Structure 1
């Protein structure tokens, strides 16, 4: 249990834009930041971060919250785990009442157990590399021969698994980690009921999530035997899905956003070698074919990708499908062809940073143009192969979502391929129509949406008070601590006396006077907590409910105070158009919210009374019901007058 004062310190220290900025590329728009949703596949940014409120809201998925809830949603952490993550980030020490044993930790939660084991494994392998004779003589010497210095080795937490066969497995089991979990992660296997290390005698490359948690491992053999697989990789597990991970993304994410470009390579050593040379905005697909999830992971930080090729024509053509995936996501793709006989590792080791940078900048070329050159080179003097190549190129252009970009490529290809533009356009339109028919058959939208829509909320029937309750709760959470001048009842108009009160006192007083409660139990819970604060003569902090330990309450609070748009100061500064915002007419907004809520409740009572009158029996006191309805009608008209509502 983390003490409440420590929780408050963590919330106070955590800046939501800093935390989320590690996972999502954010751009400042007015007082807020915007980016692409990490929870939905969208092309128009609808993910908003408000530093002033210290909250975020994803208008495409409907999710929202504070820094803690973001980590819970995005990294699948529990509330305490998210707090510990932030405490570590901001240097806040969390006192532990009693240290849990490794056995207890492993039993607490399978997913977290797997994460704990991977962390232990990474630390074990790193220690073996630096502090054992075998690790230093075999692993460390190999890495230094490849040109990696201590800084790069430490940056990527490289390690070594001893060749003894079971050194790691013995150490993990001795710490209390379960053999079942070691096997699930692919770290340990069994032969004749004896556990052994799957990565024995190999250099270890930890594969990390965006937040730096170890998800799996790549392992390179130190043997020269061609029959031995050069690389072993962790199997798929509950925490590791290779199609959703990019090697080096944790180290590169900030540099990718800063450079507004991502270099994409194939292997682990390609990433580490380029980093050693000073090129830090680079990630690897780890030898697997590029997947849509990996493409979207890059797109969080930049729409620009440069793919490095080593000159192998068969490999280049095989990669075209993966590049088409990037185009389909609306991203800009360039290709960088390295000199013959070089891969990113060897190329970077033979050149200075300046030479590498200049080569990358000058030799990068647009993918569609590059693809046209490669395919047409193979189709020289062969009309059928040329026709097939043209269709292949147009298929790639058809994947691009933006029609203007498609038109520009059609024009460029017409010139390069020496084919009439109208012919290319006809082929393009044929492909687009074919794709549209497919989507219609499976019920998809023919025209891609610019923004994913949040699920529709089912509201209470018109006879309920859901909209009025929501508005009143929004006012309470947004302005509860603000003070307004409220006229005291009684006296002549000229002698009206005003009293200054917090908005929360006005709302609480009005509702308690009439004995009214919220039908929504979470609204009522927030209202009750506010009342408890006022009984202690305290006011909750502005973000108290947005940082509430109950995620349902914090999510609700964020939903209520978040607005998809905000009025730009430009209206006044540049155009001298002056508007009256809600905070400038707060007393009116608050009283209108209260009276509208009360009015709806009175109308509910009138409806109920009318039903009772319809079903009246001789024993029923009909006069009493008529008198009640008359009083309610009077109250209704008075409230309607106060709130400015028209009653039909």
Structure 2
């Protein structure tokens, strides 16, 4: 795969003006040194979204989104890193010369580009026929108007119509000079074969006499079509979709997501429906954060797409019992993807499209707000009602619900759902917990769809020697170990643990890092992190500024503290990155560091470089002196180094004092007392240099 050279990436990042880029999406207003606006990623009344023009960084103090100019494009457009770079390059007229592709890679790229081009052309052709041809206006436009769609919605989604002809598209493509092979590759035309499967040389249009629904990918490019026939013919499929192609993979596309992605972000929820018209009617009714699976079973790829924009999904079910049962299986996948799932069930015989046309926009919105419930509760109530008079069906229903609960990654939520299920079915909670543990421990069950790797064990499973969570028990449960998830490992590393055991306590997860308990309880740990953070902040923000003649902040701090002065793993990694930059003859640049491929490093750099509050200029007008680290970098560096050293001395002093609480030989005790005396003297010296109160009681 071709790559963009690093030098060009750096040039794009340095050229891009974050104020201009962000300003394309929100209206920024200057307040102090920074620019502010309501956050484009979540709903808010007062602006908490800040852009720092000098450092080319953004941060929302409400939802926590943060990063540099490339990350902003990735977040707001839902694109990949490379696509975001290409977006910026196009905006600033920077030509991207990708590293040379192999002939095979170039051929594949040309083939994909050609298919995109012909799909876009076909979309425009169908759209013109809908609005400008006699057949399209009378049949296609007439049908859409009958379904309540206005012209604005039709144009927003680029709807079209295919003439009831065997070769209209073929003839138009030939006239336009388009290669027929790309019509075949995208499934727009079909090859006629004989009984032996041989090509007869004849071609015909796949879509004839149908209303056309273009399917866009997340970047807005047309990748395929859905098509509805308007003929009453039982032998003809009502809906016909494009076949899979090099540019169209059904499992990785959601209808309407291109139009809905911004609304999903700001509303912080995605409404999931089944059909094209459900999306169109809701969107026209003001519910713009809606997408459809287009009648296919929901896939992991589609769930990952939704998760780019929100962790919350509300599934809108038709009031059809058979359809609901089929959809329940797909919803389990959403749970397994870590999303919060709610459900709205419409009256029998209604779907989202028919119901919003029946009751109107406002009553529809009120309905989905008042009728939504969490998925597990919905499923539990549904299956319990159906199996209420049959003990065998009831047992199967309980296991079915437990399968769904096992998909939920969050331990606290799982425990709550187990309690709710116990109450709904009228079955002892401990019996449910035992059955749940059998489910998540069984390899065959896990292979059949249980997410045993994510779900924790509760209680005492059959044959297990561990005694875990017991309802209403006051005793502390024994730990039930399991592998750490990626999120848990990241959290553990962020807070300094190298190895850990995980305990499932029924109410959640607790960590016991493999360190002395006294260290974990040490109040100075937080102080140490703050001091280390301050040193790192000065290094990142003022690396190239002179502390004294021919000595930069970076060289000064590295000289004072050495190679590995920081204990928090993420801070230590960042320190080493900066050190390597300096050794390579470059100063660490916050603008470039904020584009790091690792999310934790991007977040750290943004936090270090972004302050929510600024000193009012009125203070200077009133001649109130405020220390300015920009003007006095040596003083800022000296204070940061002294504070860090003082915390280390105090920690050593506490360790020595702790040793005195245990029986010691005389020689060892006198040695420790000597260390304490030396450390207290050093602590007092550092305190005097900092101007703080000196002296610590033993």
Change (3 A) 1:436 1:566: farther
Query: Do the aligned partners of 2:317 and 2:351 also contact (CA within 8 Å) in 1?
Result: yes
Contact residue 26 and residue 34 of structure 1 kept, 8 A: no
Give the superposition deviation at 1:400. Answer: 1.1
Aligned twin of 1:11: 16
Give a deviation string over 1:111-130, Cα, whole Å, max 9, x none: 22222222212111111111
Q: State how far apart, in whole Å, the 2-side matches of 1:69 and 1:396 are.
A: 31
What SS is found at the alignment partner of 2:204?
strand
Contact 1:114 1:185 in 2 (8 A): yes
Q: What is the deviation of 1:220?
A: 0.9
CA distance in 2 between partners of 1:298 and 1:69 (Å): 13
RMSD of aligned Cα (Å):
5.1
Task: For residues 144-185 of structure 1, give each alpha carbon's deviation from its aligned partner in whole angstroms, at most 9, with x where no partner exists.
Answer: 111110111111110112222222223234433322222111
Bigger mean CA deviation after superposition, 167-176 or 220-229: 167-176
CA positional deviation for 1:271: 0.7
2:101 alignment partner in structure 1: none
**Structure 1 residue 388 corresponds to structure 2 residue 425:** no
Count of aligned pairs: 487
Cα deviation, residue 332, structure 1: 2.0
Q: Which of residues 458, 471, 486 is equivalent to 1:449? A: 486
2:231 to 214, 223, 227: 223
Equivalent positions of 1:230-249 (< 5 A) are: 230-249=238-257
| d(CA) in 1 for partners of 2:253, 2:382 | 30
Q: Which moved more, 1:302-311 or 1:262-271?
A: 302-311
**How far is 1:441 from its partner?**
13
Q: Which residue is equivalent to 1:169?
A: 170
Partners of 1:556 and 1:291 in 2: CA distance: 26
The answer on 1:363 being equivalent to 2:371 is yes
The alignment partner of 1:138 has SS state of helix
Mapped partners of 1:415, 1:174: distance in 2 = 69
Correspondence 1:110 to 2:151? no
Q: Quick check: 1:210–1:249 contact (8 Å CA) kept in 2?
A: yes
Deviation at 1:107, TM superposition (A): 9.8
Q: In the alignment, is the contact (CA less than 8 A) between 2:313 and 2:342 conserved in 1?
A: yes
* Structure 2 match to 1:195: 203
1:566 corresponds in structure 2 to 607
CA distance in 2, matches of 1:323, 1:242: 17
SS in 2 for 1:204: strand
Distance change in 2, residues 1:239/1:317 (3 Å): same
- For the residues of structure 2 that align with 1:117 and 1:106, how far apart are their CA atoms? 17
Give me the whole-angstrom Cα distance separating, in 2, the residues matched to 1:311 and 1:234: 28
Equivalent residue runs for 1:501-540 within 5 Å: none
- Tell me if 1:54 matches 2:69: yes
Q: 2:318 matched to which residue of 1?
A: 310
Per-residue Cα deviation, 1:55-108 (whole angstroms, up to 9, x for no partner): 43xxxxxxxxx8499989728659667634x47xxxx999xxxxxxxxxx9997
> Aligned partners of 2:191 and 2:76: how far apart in 1?
39
- Residue aligning to 1:484: 546
Do 2:539 and 2:553's aligned partners in 1 also have CA atoms closer than 8 Å?
no
Deviation of 1:200 (Å): 2.0
CA distance in 1, matches of 2:583, 2:547: 27
Measured at CA, do residues 411 and 157 of structure 1 come closer, stay the same or move farther in structure 2, by a change above 3 Å?
Answer: same
Q: Which runs of 5+ in 1 are unaligned?
A: 36-44, 57-65, 95-104, 457-473, 489-499, 508-521, 531-540, 548-553, 593-648
Compared CA separation, residues 407 and 555, structure 1 to 2 (3 A): closer
Post-superposition offset of 1:260? 2.0
Displacement of 1:309: 1.7
Cα distance change, pair 11–174 in 1 and its aligned pair in 2 (3 A): farther
Q: Conserved in 2, the CA contact under 8 Å of 1:160 and 1:204? A: yes
**How far off its partner does 1:190 sit?**
2.6
Report the Cα offset of residue 287 of structure 1.
0.6
1:485 CA displacement: 5.3
Following superposition, the deviation at residue 288 of structure 1 comes to: 0.6
Aligned pairs for 1:326-475 (under 5 A) are: 326-434=334-442, 446-450=483-487
Q: Which residue pairs with 2:131 in the alignment?
A: 130
Q: Is the 8 A contact 1:126 1:158 kept in 2?
A: yes
Conserved 8 A contact 2:74-2:84: no
Matched, 1:289 2:291: no
Quote the Cα distance in structure 1 between the aligned partners of 2:402 and 2:600. 44
Conservation of the 8 A alpha-carbon contact between 2:13 and 2:69: no
Partner of 2:521: none
2:524 aligned partner: none
> Matches of 1:325 and 1:556 in 2, distance apart?
28
Instruction: Tell me if the contact between 2:42 and 2:266 (Cα under 8 Å) persists in the aligned partners.
Output: no
The residue aligned with 2:156 is 155
User: How high is the TM-score relative to the length of structure 2?
Assistant: 0.59
CA distance in 1, matches of 2:221, 2:114: 13
CA distance 1:360–1:556, change in 2 (3 Å): closer
Q: From the superposition, tell whether residues 80 and 262 of structure 1 become closer, same or farther in structure 2 (CA, over 3 Å).
A: closer
Deviation at 1:580, TM superposition (A): 8.3
The structure showing larger relative contact order (alpha-carbon pairs under 8 Å, at least 6 residues apart) is: 1
CA-CA distance at 1:404 after TM superposition: 1.1
Give the distance between the partners of 1:133 and 1:382, measured in 2 at CA.
Answer: 60
> How far apart, CA to CA, are the structure 2 residues paired with 1:441 and 1:311?
29
CA contact (8 A) 2:547 2:633 kept: no
d(CA) in 1 for partners of 2:380, 2:286: 32
> Mean Cα displacement is larger for which, 6-15 or 349-358?
6-15
Q: Deviations over 1:503-539 (max 9, x none)?
A: 99xx9xxxxxxxxxxxxxx9799969x9xxxxxxxxx
Q: Distance in 2 between matches of 1:580 and 1:127?
A: 63
Instruction: Say whether the 8 Å CA contact 1:379–1:386 is kept in structure 2.
Output: yes
After superposition, what is the alpha-carbon deviation per residue over 1:204-246, rounded to whole angstroms, capped at 9, x for unaligned?
Answer: 1111122212121111112111111111111112221111111
CA shift for structure 1 position 585: 4.2
Change (3 A) 1:375 1:15: farther
Q: Contact 1:477–1:561 (CA<8 Å) still a contact in 2?
A: no
Query: What is the distance in 2 between the residues matched to 1:582 and 1:10?
Result: 27
